[in-house]
């Protein structure tokens, strides 16, 4: 990819100009509504100012930095509150502690803070000082889905408004655009491979298998981000004795069993049989990148099928749907919201109780009883 793939010329020019200034430190706010994958933009921007061979107003895409940012394994980008459960005051304290050391480190460090619109006063106040004048080599990118954030924060950062791209800008057919919900990254990836997006009938079992795999995939990439691949190479022994490593292995095994047909880029058998998974981490990263779109497409197809077929299911099947959705999503409100959003979108002109289910979906954040919310949702989803 290239920064120019983002298509929005005005935005790209501003991002490039800013990166070219080669500032010692800085704080930014990226704002975009829920149709915009803000993290994706933040990472693209980070590549601009971190790339080892920035030239012709673009990152190179092939240096170690570019590659590791793409693989989510760049050790000096830290993503905070990725799951949008809220920025904890302890997170902020840790940032501040690290920041005190940062001028003595030669490397640039980027903090990406997700969900700033929901920042509590306590955390916001702690953050203010550090984002106003970050120490040398420290960069903050705050991500917000609303411009209605604490004014004292807004006045201390440079804001980039990121608009979702429309069908014309992305140069795709309407069906493709809606299939990927306008997600720029997914659409650009799809344009390279042009996979078939239609699918035959799927059983309930297959539907939930695909949905589950998508979440295993997300958790795995998140885990990789958390353990930070490069550090892991240096610190193999320590990592392998930690519980993370066991989860990591289980995830990989599970993914490999399902997607063995896409294994051409590396030796799957070796991966499966070798306990020293850390050694194969780069291969794993490559593999994950390769299967991303397949997994995403299957996930979307599965939700579409679930939405279309739901009213024809027998009551025993409906109970099963309820149970499986509970099992997968009770712990993750953000994913549940995305999942329900998709379900609503699929049938938005055909549901009698549209207003009601939107209301139920919107109450996720304030609702403690997620199990009841899910069954309530499906009661009206006919």
Cβ burial, residue 151 (10 Å; 0-12/13-18/19+):
exposed
Q: Measured from the CB atom, is 59 or 208 closer to Zn ion?
A: 59
Q: Measured from the CB atom, is 51 or 92 closer to Zn ion?
A: 51
The Cα 141–Cα 113 span in angstroms is 6
Name the residue with tokens 């993750």: 332
Q: Interface with Zn ion includes 126 (CB under 5 A)?
A: no
Q: Measured from the CB atom, is 51 or 232 closer to Zn ion?
A: 51
Name the residue with tokens 């990121």: 162
Q: Of 53-61, 125-133, 156-164, 165-173, which segment contacts Zn ion by CB under 5 A?
A: 53-61
Q: Measured from the CB atom, is 51 or 295 closer to Zn ion?
A: 51
Q: State which H helix or E strand residue 29 sits in.
A: strand 26-31
The Cα 257–Cα 223 span in angstroms is 19
Contact 341, 369 (CB under 8 A): no
Packing angle of the helix pair 204-227, 333-346 (nearest 10 deg): 140
Q: Interface with Zn ion includes 1 (CB under 5 A)?
A: no
Name the residue with tokens 């057919």: 173
Q: Measured from the CB atom, is 65 or 165 closer to Zn ion?
A: 65
Query: Per-residue contact track with Zn ion, 66 to 95, x per CB under 5 A?
Result: x-----------------------------
Q: Of 46-54, 85-93, 210-218, 311-319, which segment contacts Zn ion by CB under 5 A?
A: 46-54
Q: Measured from the CB atom, is 63 or 279 closer to Zn ion?
A: 63
Q: Interface with Zn ion includes 51 (CB under 5 A)?
A: yes
Q: Interface with Zn ion includes 63 (CB under 5 A)?
A: yes
The Cα 57–Cα 337 span in angstroms is 37
Please state the closest distance from residue 51 (CB atom) to Zn ion, in A: 3
Please state the closest distance from residue 62 (CB atom) to Zn ion, in A: 6
Contact 299, 211 (CB under 8 A): yes
Q: Interface with Zn ion includes 60 (CB under 5 A)?
A: yes
Query: Per-residue contact track with Zn ion, 235 to 274, x per CB under 5 A?
Result: ----------------------------------------
DSSP 142-207: EEES-S-S-HHHHTTSEEEE-PPP-HHHHT--HHHHHHTTT-HHHHHHHHHH----------HHHH
Please state the closest distance from residue 22 (CB atom) to Zn ion, in A: 15
The Cα 69–Cα 362 span in angstroms is 33
Please state the closest distance from residue 230 (CB atom) to Zn ion, in A: 15
Q: Measured from the CB atom, is 59 or 248 closer to Zn ion?
A: 59
Residues that bind Zn ion (CB under 5 A): 51, 59-60, 63, 66
């Amino acid at each position: 990819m290239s920064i120019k793939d983002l298509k929005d010329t005005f935005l790209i020019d501003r991002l490039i100009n800013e990166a070219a200034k080669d500032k010692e430190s800085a704080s930014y706010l990226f704002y975009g509504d829920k149709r915009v994958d803000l993290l994706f933009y933040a990472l693209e921007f980070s590549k601009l100012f971190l790339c080892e061979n920035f030239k012709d107003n673009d990152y190179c895409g092939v240096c170690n930095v570019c590659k590791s940012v793409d693989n989510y394994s760049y050790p000096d980008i830290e993503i905070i509150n990725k799951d949008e459960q809220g920025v904890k005051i302890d997170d902020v304290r840790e940032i501040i502690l690290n920041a005190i050391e940062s001028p003595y480190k030669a490397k640039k460090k980027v903090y990406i803070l997700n969900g700033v619109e929901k920042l509590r006063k306590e955390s916001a106040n702690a953050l203010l000082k550090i984002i106003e004048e970050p120490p040398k080599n420290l960069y903050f990118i705050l991500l917000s889905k609303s411009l209605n954030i604490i004014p004292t924060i807004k006045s201390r950062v440079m804001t980039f408004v990121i608009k979702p791209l429309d069908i014309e800008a992305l140069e795709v057919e309407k069906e493709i655009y809606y299939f990927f919900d306008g997600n720029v990254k997914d659409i650009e990836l799809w344009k390279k491979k042009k996979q078939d997006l239609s699918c035959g009938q799927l059983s309930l079992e297959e539907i939930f298998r695909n949905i589950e795999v998508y979440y295993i995939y997300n958790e795995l990439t998140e885990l990789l981000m958390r353990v930070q691949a490069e550090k892991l190479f240096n610190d193999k022994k320590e990592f392998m004795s930690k519980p993370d490593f066991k989860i990591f292995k289980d995830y990989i095994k599970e993914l490999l069993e399902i997607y063995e047909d896409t294994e051409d880029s590396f030796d799957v058998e070796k991966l499966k049989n070798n306990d020293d998974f850390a050694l194969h981490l780069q291969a794993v990263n490559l593999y994950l990148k390769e299967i991303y779109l397949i997994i995403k497409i299957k996930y979307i197809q599965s939700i579409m099928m679930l939405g279309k077929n739901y009213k024809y299911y027998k009551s025993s099947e409906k109970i099963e749907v309820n149970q499986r959705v509970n099992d997968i999503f009770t712990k993750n409100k953000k994913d549940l919201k995305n999942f329900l959003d998709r379900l609503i979108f699929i049938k938005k002109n055909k549901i009698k109780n549209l207003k009601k289910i939107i209301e139920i979906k919107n109450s996720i954040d304030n609702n403690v009883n997620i199990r009841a919310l899910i069954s309530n949702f499906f009661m009206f989803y006919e």
